A and B are shown apart, each in its own frame.
Chain A
Amino acid sequence: MSAVPAGVLPGGALPLAGDAGAAAELGPRARFAPSLAAVYRAQLSRARVARIPLLFVATFQSLGIMVMMRGVVDGGTEARAVVAGSTVLVVAFVALNLLAQYFGQLRASGGLDHYATLPVPPAAVVLGAAAAYASFTVPGTVVTAVFGCLLFGLPLAHLWVLAAVVPLAGAALAGLGAAFGLLAPRPELATLLGQLGMSAALLLGVLPADRMPAPVQYLRDLLPSTYGVEAFARTFGARPDWAAVLGDLAVCAGVGAVSLALAAWAYRRAAVR
């Protein structure tokens, strides 16, 4: 026990009387929607400084894979799988891999303290960052999808479905990436998990599914990006089965909600140690 002698009242301090009585009024809590908008805007501005080169890497990686696969695959369902898989891979690279790295580093360096000492809902921080990272992927996915369609001679008519695929697959993968980054005990481990997740999205999403052995197919079914790939691939058909597309997108949305909730929980856990 370290006893402290009572000091003289210094000139600058007000008398103690002000302390007596009821608890002081608390400052306002930041509401969800404005905080989400503020975090989103701040994260998006980071892209200008730090992320643009990586977006090029993500896009060129997918373009390269498609050029490579052009020699192996000619048309049909396999070509659809390759184009859809490469497009969703851009989302996986940014939303899963880069976001896992970002949160891993933020946590390790003590940067989370900044958010943790502001009265902001955890979900707003996680969702704002996830939404910003998902937005970074839009140009890359569009370029990849258009290039793929031209390369493999697929119709461009239903590319608008990307407007649903990117946010839903983005939510699922970004939530997972944020959770990886916030739960990993060390930042290197967060990077590793993000890389592994992206490799899984690459191998299980781009390669045609019907040639895989059964256990690998089960693994493929567990990956949230798979449903984004399937939904997108279906729309290349002459008469797309829209019910199945909607079903796949619904799975994406469900997984997205769960993984974002997991990420918000992981944030709360990481913020108070």
Chain B
Amino acid sequence: MCAVRGLTKTYPAVRGRRGTPATPEVRATDAVRLDIRRGEIFGLLGPNGAGKSTLVRQLTGLMRPDSGSVEILGHDIVRHPDRAARILAYLGQESTALDELTVSLAAETTGRLRGLDLAAARAERDAVLDELGLAPLASRPLKKLSGGQRRLACFAAALVGRRPLLVLDEPTTGMDPVARRAVWAAVDRRRAEQGATVLLVTHNVIEAETVLDRVAVLDRGRVIACDTPAGLKEQVAGEVRVELVWRENAPLHVPEVAALRARAVESGRRWTLRLAPEEARAAVATVTGGAAFAALDDFTLATPSLEDVYLALGGHATQGLVKA
């Protein structure tokens, strides 16, 4: 339903001024090719700065690409960016346009501006607020809500006025588990009942693994892999992730620990190692016995996640993907 071919956008270099250093030319999306199928929850996963939001802005008609094409449900979005607003609903990262409205008026106004008449906008508003459990907050201004509640209210506004494609840019940021469940239940309902397609931007690995049908992994503006989460994880199936947290300093006087250090990614007191299963067994045996165990605060042994896939595929950011 959504086909992207050779989509490229380059931000020009900025000359430095007093106080602001010069930034070189940045290729935010680099010949991106994607095929999103009808009725699937398709994810864009990558660390901050990978080009996810730039890509989404080009798909929603908010930004013109330098070259390439975007076709959604048979419509050329690069040539007719205004049609995007009539095909998709977009939840951006900013709520400033709605901040001073009440939850109820934000949803109703958005529905009106999606072409619903007053009665329909109010009916859909009430249904969506009930569905998301926002009815008790309906008369509160978004500004006075907590971050997660405000995000949920913006999500509600995005759902008023039915659209075949939902584009959600990090929809669950700041939400508690109850609100997250409400979001995913609402998304699933629209997929089951209306055949809606969802394009989800996320840097949350756990979320990507649990809710997505397929995921495109982005790094530096390029799609480095695209498959189901399970399919991607098979690529690194031969590895086990070992995380060690030391109490104070790593016991480098133990020769086995010193040997492990060369293969560890260190982050403060935490070491992350990607090892073959038998190596992992040996490493765990070492650190759970003798001198090393005295220095050990915590350890975990896990099968690979999408973060490991990202790193195994040559992703450049060693931090930036969230596991929560």
Contacts and interface: CB of A to CB of B under 8 A. Distances in A.
The 3 closest A-B pairs by CB, nearest first: A23-B74, A111-B96, A28-B115
Interface of chain A, main secondary structure: loop
Interface in A1-52: 1-5, 7-14, 16, 18-19, 21-24, 26-31, 34-35, 37-39, 41-42, 45-46, 49-50
Contacts of B227: 5, 7-8
Interface of B: 1, 6, 30-35, 37-41, 57, 60-64, 73-75, 81-90, 92-98, 100-102, 105-106, 108-110, 112-115, 117-118, 141, 143, 161-164, 191, 195, 213-214, 216, 222-228, 231
B62 A113 contact: yes
A238 B107 CA distance: 53
A13 B228 contact: no
Contact of A41 (B61, B109, B143): B109
A interface, size bucket: 35 or more
Nearest to B115: A28
A47 to B, nearest CB: 9
A10 B42 CA distance: 10
23 contacts: A4-B34, A7-B226, A8-B228, A10-B228, A13-B38, A14-B39, A24-B87, A26-B83, A27-B114, A34-B112, A38-B109, A38-B112, A50-B100, A106-B96, A109-B94, A111-B97, A113-B57, A116-B61, A116-B62, A117-B88, A118-B85, A119-B86, A273-B62
A12 to B, nearest CB: 5
Interface of A: 1-5, 7-14, 16, 18-19, 21-24, 26-31, 34-35, 37-39, 41-42, 45-46, 49-50, 105-106, 109-120, 271-273
A105 B35 CA distance: 36
Identify whether the interface residues of B are mostly helix, strand, loop, or mixed: mixed
A173 B89 CA distance: 33
Given A41-B105, A114-B92, A117-B84, 6 more contacts: A7-B231, A12-B40, A21-B74, A29-B86, A105-B96, A119-B86
Contacts, number: 178
B68 to A, nearest CB: 11
A12 B60 contact: no
A49 B98 contact: no
Contact of A106 (B40, B97, B115): B97
A119 B85 contact: yes
A113 to B, nearest CB: 5
Nearest to A117: B90
B141 A16 contact: no
